[in-house]
A and B are shown apart, each in its own frame.
Chain A
Amino acid sequence: MSTNMIDSTLPVNVEKKESKLAKIGQFREIGLLAFIIMLMIAVQMRNSSFLTIENMTDMMTNTAILLILAVGMMLVLVTRGIDLSIGATLALSGMVVAQFVSNHPQTSPLVAILMGIGIGIVCGLVIGGLVSFLGVLPIIATLAMMNIYRGMTYMVSDGKWISSYQMPENFVGIATSKILGINSLVVIVIIVYIVAFYFIGHTRTGRQIYAVGSNPESAKVTGVSEKKIFLLVYTVMGGLAGLSGVLWVSKFASAQGDTATGFELSVIAACILGGVSIAGGAGKLSGVILGAMLIGILNNALPLLNVSPFWQKGIEGCIILAAILLNVMVKRGVEQNNLLRRRV
């Protein structure tokens, strides 16, 4: 109340001066955005084929799966959890669906996608149950389930791969077809983000996820069911991983037992780069998009730069570290400014 009073007494010109800068300044991921733009310019200077429509399309389709998974991972991280099992869930769903469509070539692509989501949801429900009802630490529960799901994938496949000749045309077409001139994978990403944007920002449950993450005690006092939220976020994560499994298998036209091993680390890295806090409670979709895009750009640009393969991993690590440092510093500055403004 008192701050409002004081605010209104401020001279008008000061407010005007602040508003423009403040609008940009309030965007916490501005450091990351600036870093991405600088990186893109640097890559373009070394290889002119980087900023071409073809390469941008390739990059978007190659980053699509990472973008989808990052949404789910953000929700999990916001509740102070973590999910290490998504690579395994992805592989399991991809393998089962690939086997199904190879035996039933008539299956419609939509059914295949729904089947993948269904398998993922079941996988997620198990983890959600472990975390919320049995109180197992998320990192332990998902680590255990990661190994179980990976083992199940090998068991289901009997160590064999499903190859492209076994997959019907329309199934492989999920990843290569276009809707309104845009690659279907990108369309799916856009749909996922629109739904997520509405869910996170404009529904009661969406806000409760943040409440549980930022202050579990007061959330409990206000009547938010922690168990329900935990179950929900891991189920959503599982569903998205299941969806990604179908997309992955369709995109690469091959299902292997070791599909996407270690992919969860890229997803977690994308979230953290995008400003999602491991300590829970904080994380924005815009940040996650930027974080995933940075990883996507690195995967796309490093092969174009003609650097020695011995250096590639090291360079990737350095760039990620630099991006995090810059982002953290800019973010602290922005937050400090925000605090200062409040005190006035």
Chain B
Amino acid sequence: MKKFLMLLVMSALFLSILAGCTQGNTSGTTKNTDTEKAEKEDVNGEPLKHAFIFKNTGNPYGEKMMQGFEEAIKESGGEAILRAPDQPTAEAQIQIIEQLITQKVDSITLSGNDPDALQPALKKAMDSGIKVLSTDSAVNAKSRTTHVNQADPEAIGRIQIEAISEMIGGKGQIAVLSATSQATNQNLWIEYMQKELEKDEYKGLELVKIAYGDDLRDKSVSETEALLKTYPDLKGIIAPTTVGIAAAGKVLTDKNLAGKVALTGLGLPSEMASYIENGVCPWMYLWNPIDVGYAAGYTAVELVNGEITGEVGDKFEAGRTGEKVVVEDGDGTQIMLGEPFKFDKGNIAEWKEVY
């Protein structure tokens, strides 16, 4: 028995070491951009430092957002610090936030991996005079000054239900394939989808299941396959997440279900090009991540300059994206970018090269 217990303890220890190994990495990629002409400078004569933290590295969507952010900061003459952890966890982002506080940056813009877990770290940043705003995936109202919303969540929920209803003729079972069950933005969109489904015109639609593919290829594939088997009469799948919609597109293509099960949602044009062209996904949506990062960059600059305070009613010019107004969002405030962009057979060929 003693030997047996030892074995158990050993394997438990071993597994915890392994877990530590994979999650402890927060080095990430750091790119510092020095601008040639530093017009706006802080008291010490150095350019203002604006930091951006994305969810994780190696995500082309995040890369585009960072590109837009960098562009906006450059236009204002500041210095952009772009960071992202290896793993999409809140712990990894907290470490980066701590580092940025030590670096004494002027603003932190982030796409949060958890709405609440980052609060202590972000509070600390705000207490030390750093302007904090979230974009893409929001953190709670207490841990930010304002939030830059890629598109109106109500519009995203509504548009996807409209799309699936049109694709399947307003009648039949539908399912949602989301990212993780903790993803703030996905959960909010799904909430609005459910509200939209309560309307009379969608009486024929029945939402049978919300599945979570965790934004992993293999899990998303298993979840899609399980949906098809558990609900043989399934008519449509809404996947408001990049990896999920592409995995579902692949499964439906392999099973020759084009025209039988309709797919829509939010996806990357490059990832979805094949499935839009072969008819599995008649059309889908996404906003322009470059514009999201760009508008977030402008908001950060205006906040640091003191032009806006993040209160409801504040107005400012966000470069080429035009005038933006701060509006209410639950307990906090946010800035909206408008409706998402539609990708279909007509325009996918030109967009698949972009991102």
- Contact residues, B133-164 vs A (CB, 8 A): none
Complex contact B218–A84 (CB within 8 A): no
- Contact residues, A64-82 vs B (CB, 8 A): none
Residues in B whose Cβ lies below 8 Å from that of A54:
229
Q: Mark A242-285, 1 if CB is under 8 A from B, else 0.
A: 00000010001110111101100100100010000010000000
Complex contact B271–A161 (CB within 8 A): yes
Complex contact B246–A62 (CB within 8 A): no
Say if the beta carbon of A220 comes within 8 Å of chain B: no
Residues in B whose Cβ lies below 8 Å from that of A150:
86
Closest to A248 in B: B217
Q: List 21 A-B contacts (CB under 8 A).
A: A49-B230, A49-B232, A54-B229, A157-B58, A159-B58, A161-B271, A163-B268, A163-B270, A163-B273, A164-B246, A164-B250, A165-B270, A165-B274, A252-B247, A254-B217, A254-B271, A257-B57, A258-B56, A258-B57, A268-B18, A303-B225
Q: Mark A286-309, 1 if CB is under 8 A from B, else 0.
A: 000000000000011001101001
Say if the beta carbon of A310 comes within 8 Å of chain B: yes
Q: Mark B211-253, 1 if CB is under 8 A from A, else 0.
A: 1100001110111011101101000000000000011001000
Q: Mark B178-218, 1 if CB is under 8 A from A, else 0.
A: 00110000000000000000000000000001011000011
CB-based A-B contact count at 8 angstroms: 114
Chain A's interface: helix, strand, loop or mixed, by majority?
Answer: helix
Say if the beta carbon of A55 comes within 8 Å of chain B: yes
Alpha-carbon distance between A157 and B247 when the two chains are bound, in angstroms: 20
Say if the beta carbon of B277 comes within 8 Å of chain A: yes
Rank and list the top 8 A-B pairs by shortest CB-CB distance, nearest first: A257-B58, A303-B226, A165-B273, A309-B181, A164-B274, A49-B229, A163-B270, A252-B217
Residues in A whose Cβ lies below 8 Å from that of B223:
303
Say if the beta carbon of A176 comes within 8 Å of chain B: yes
Closest to B254 in A: A176
Say if the beta carbon of A154 comes within 8 Å of chain B: yes
Alpha-carbon distance between A261 and B181 when the two chains are bound, in angstroms: 19
Among A252, A278, A303, A324, contact of B250 (Cβ-Cβ < 8 Å): A252
Chain A nearest Cβ from B257, distance in angstroms: 12
Residues in A whose Cβ lies below 8 Å from that of B11:
272, 278, 324
Say if the beta carbon of A58 comes within 8 Å of chain B: yes
Chain A nearest Cβ from B275, distance in angstroms: 8
Complex contact A300–B271 (CB within 8 A): no
Residues in B whose Cβ lies below 8 Å from that of A52:
229
Alpha-carbon distance between A147 and B29 when the two chains are bound, in angstroms: 13
Say if the beta carbon of B60 comes within 8 Å of chain A: yes
Residues in B whose Cβ lies below 8 Å from that of A157:
58
- Contact residues, B268-291 vs A (CB, 8 A): 268, 270-271, 273-275, 277
Among A55, A160, A256, A309, contact of B212 (Cβ-Cβ < 8 Å): A309
Q: B14, B57, B58: which has the most chain A beta carbons within 10 Å?
A: B58
Complex contact B222–A159 (CB within 8 A): no
Residues in B whose Cβ lies below 8 Å from that of A300:
222, 225-226
